[in-house]
Amino acid sequence: MTGAIQPYAWGSLTFIPELLGQQPTDEPQAELWLGAHASASAMVDGRRLDEVIADDPTGVVGAAAVEEFGAKLPFLLKVLGIAKPLSLQAHPSREQAESGYARENAAGIALDAKDRLYKDDWPKPEMVCALVDSEALCGFRDPLETYDLFGQLGVASATELVGPLADVAVPADQRLASVFESLLRGEEGTAAVSEVVAAAQGLEVEGALGLFARTARELGEHYPDDSGVLAALLMNRIAVKPNQAVFLPAGNLHAYLRGGGVEIMANSDNVMRGGLTPKHVDVDGLLAILDFSPGFPGFIEPVEETPGCWRYPTPAPEFALWRLEPRESVVSVPAVDSGRALLVTDGSVVVEGGESDLPLGRGQAAFARAGEQLMVSGRGTVFVAGPGVDS
């Protein structure tokens, strides 16, 4: 299986080419799509995977997934190579996606229009498993903690803008919603960005204030006139170690900062952006789907289901993700009754049980049809993506 490269501006010049064993070019490679989304389907034996599925949905994807989601692959596997911060973004629930897609269709907005928000009628919960040390902004920090950090930074204009965060008579989510919206919409937020970034320069201290200042410096370097810099400072900053994973449900505000990893999501391209991007920004569209509850739910801890096979459990029915490490023995590929994507991220393995043994090296991928009972041997790491139903 050969994936489709997406050359977004935030992408790394080297991460995905090195994974694939290719020479870097002068064009960023942000995402490698290994799925069957209509806008960038992977290729299997010279054919688009979405066309292969259309010929025999049940035989390729599996009966349970087709019954639940229709004649399509319900998941999309990606590799991310992140060189600079992504946009402030969130993704819709299924109900929001269906209504938004229908609304934009009725309005006559072309699917490829730059201001189109809903490219399909699917939700987009997602999970990222880091391959290298990575960092991200994820969800909202406690409002009182954020107010205190702005106060410690010492920029009076910015502290005044976030003043409502300290009003404990108002529920925390309402305080965050009010301040977040005012920062994105107000010219005062844009004017205060340069002062905040200047105050953060040289502030090399430990702890929460140090991370707060570092976030301001990094975002200000790439987006010096974007009020999204201040809005992003309301968020939790997290570090994700290799093989750690983070699940992002519908409505979760997030922005990846650096690193790289394997991403699994529902088969959707619906993204609402609020800033920190040259792409289309729609503050109203983002605010309509955001969950302003403060806190970070924590990392997804992998569970060893069988020797050498770890699953990353999530509540998403559209996808499931496993990590196989056949160091000393043969490991069965899970989800036999479903179509699965296999991606080798380290070492080399042999996939056994098909028409013939298939050797795969680092960066190579394969697709397994429903019903194929496969085993993996060798010394490497293989990520396996499949539907979440009956997996």
Cα 96-97-101 angle, rounded to 5 deg: 120
Cα 30 from Cα 5, distance rounded (Å): 7
Q: What b/e string do you get for 338-375 counting C-beta neighbours within 10 Å, with b at 16 or more?
A: bbbbbbbbbbebebbbeeeebebebbbbbbbbbebebb
204: exposed, middle or buried (C-beta count within 10 Å: 0-12, 13-18, 19+)? exposed
Contact yes or no for 2/45 (Cβ under 8 A): no
Is residue 313 helix, strand or coil? coil
Whether residue 103 lies in the annotated active site: no
- From the candidates 141, 175, 273, 369, give the one annotated as an active-site residue: 273
Cβ neighbours of 21 (radius 10 Å): 10
Amino acid at the residue 271: V
Contact yes or no for 382/346 (Cβ under 8 A): no
Contact yes or no for 290/248 (Cβ under 8 A): no
Q: Which residues are catalytic, by number?
A: 273
